[in-house]
């Protein structure tokens, strides 16, 4: 991003979702996916609807980089707004975490739900090795559970785990620009022999948004494309695209929550995606 800024070249960013990236004042950065702080924003409200008496939440998050901390803080803020009585943020090294890190309070203050926020490999290791202990707490959620590969990696331990996903099949039906979901999934299966994961669709969605900016600006200069992107509000196969005019941060797109049941994941929030 600093190099792109120095040369005045637009950086179409589909993967770097840490909120910190968009707080640097870079005018050339355009985000296509939901920021990290919104990943689990819907989780506390959904959880209270499912289990009204649940009010204690613990978030274990990696201290490597800024992404995990942003996810954790966004979740904590949403939980506090949602009326959770106790929200504990616990920075830790998930790669070396032991069960006592999750279950060190066998009292009135013990967590009723635990959320893991770290690398895919670290979260999978924790679920594989400590899944049984975690289930003694209550609800379990993990960022990595939004991926199809998660189910294969942890097997039966995936049952009931909540994940967050930028995109799931069937959630985006009213496409205004670019190919629809049916076309995307069909072509992806033809090319790769498997269903697309959300990272593939979010990359395509941003490409469609970029093409729409070219069409509307009728100009390939970076200044014109940045101005077109600032005013663009459109739905692609990935979902809604709308950025903050000043920072380039994605504000229109909404993540979804999925739950693993019977070896498959299903959308549980928002209700429109079920």
Let me know whether 26 and 45 are in one domain: no
Condensed to tens digits (0 to 9), the pLDDT of residues 47-88 reads: 999 998 888 899 999 988 889 999 999 999 999 998 898 898
Question: What pTM, to 2 d.p., does this model score?
Answer: 0.90
CATH label of the domain that carries residue 66: 3.40.50.2300
Q: Classify residue 180: in a domain, yes or no.
A: yes
Residues 145 and 190 in one domain: no
Total residues belonging to the chain: 274
Judge if 11 and 56 occupy the same domain.
no
What's the pLDDT at 170? Answer: 84
Q: Are 27 and 49 members of one domain?
A: no
Residues 6+ apart with CB under 8 A from 147: 120, 163, 165, 197, 198
- Looking at the fold, whether 101 and 158 belong to one and the same domain comes out as yes
> Is residue 53 one of the residues assigned to a domain?
yes
**Using one digit for the tens of pLDDT, what is the confidence trace for 124-148?**
999 998 888 887 788 999 999 999 9
Cα 162 from Cα 38, distance rounded (Å): 15
Report residues of the chain scoring pLDDT below 50. none
Domain check: are 11 and 64 in the same one?
no
224 and 178, same structural domain? yes
**Range(s) of the domain holding residue 6:** 2-34+170-241
Q: Which of 123, 146, 165 is the last residue of a domain?
A: 165
Confirm whether 67 is domain-assigned.
Answer: yes
Query: Which of 165, 186, 209 is a domain's end point?
Result: 165
Position 264 in a domain: no
Domain count, the chain: 2
Check if the beta carbon of residue 140 is closer than 8 Å to that of residue 132.
Answer: no
Return the pLDDT at 273: 56
Predicted local distance difference test score (pLDDT) of residue 60: 92
Domain boundary pick from 141, 165, 189: 165
96, 153: one domain: yes
- Same domain as 15, residue 67: no
Same domain (yes/no): 124, 59: yes
> According to the model, what pLDDT value does residue 94 have?
82
Dihedral sign (CA 196, 199, 203, 208): positive
φ and ψ of 162, to 5 deg: -95, 135
């Amino acid at each position: 991003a600093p190099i792109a800024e120095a040369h005045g070249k637009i950086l179409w960013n589909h993967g770097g979702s840490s909120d910190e990236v968009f707080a640097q004042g870079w005018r050339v950065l355009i985000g296509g996916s939901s920021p990290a702080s919104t990943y689990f924003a819907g989780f506390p409200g959904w959880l209270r609807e499912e289990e009204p008496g649940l009010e204690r939440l613990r978030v274990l998050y990696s201290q490597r980089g800024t992404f995990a901390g942003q996810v954790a803080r966004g979740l904590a803020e949403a939980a506090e707004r949602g009326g959770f009585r106790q929200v504990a943020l616990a920075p830790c090294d998930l790669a070396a975490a032991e069960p006592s890190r999750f279950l060190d309070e066998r009292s009135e203050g013990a967590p009723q739900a635990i959320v893991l926020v770290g690398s895919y490999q670290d979260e999978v290791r924790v679920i594989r090795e400590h899944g049984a202990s975690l289930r003694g707490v209550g609800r379990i959620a993990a960022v990595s559970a939004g991926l199809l590969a998660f189910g294969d990696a942890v097997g039966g331990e995936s049952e009931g785990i909540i994940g967050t996903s930028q995109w799931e099949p069937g959630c985006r039906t009213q496409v205004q620009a670019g190919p629809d979901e049916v076309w995307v999934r069909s072509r992806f299966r033809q090319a790769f022999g498997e269903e697309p994961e959300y990272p593939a669709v979010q990359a395509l969605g941003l490409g469609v948004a970029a093409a729409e900016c070219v069409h509307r600006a009728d100009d390939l200069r970076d200044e014109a494309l940045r101005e077109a992107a600032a005013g663009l509000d459109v739905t692609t196969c990935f979902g809604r695209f709308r950025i903050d005019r000043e920072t380039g941060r994605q504000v229109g797109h909404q993540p979804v929550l999925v739950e693993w049941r019977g070896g498959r994941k299903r959308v549980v929030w928002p209700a429109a995606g079920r």
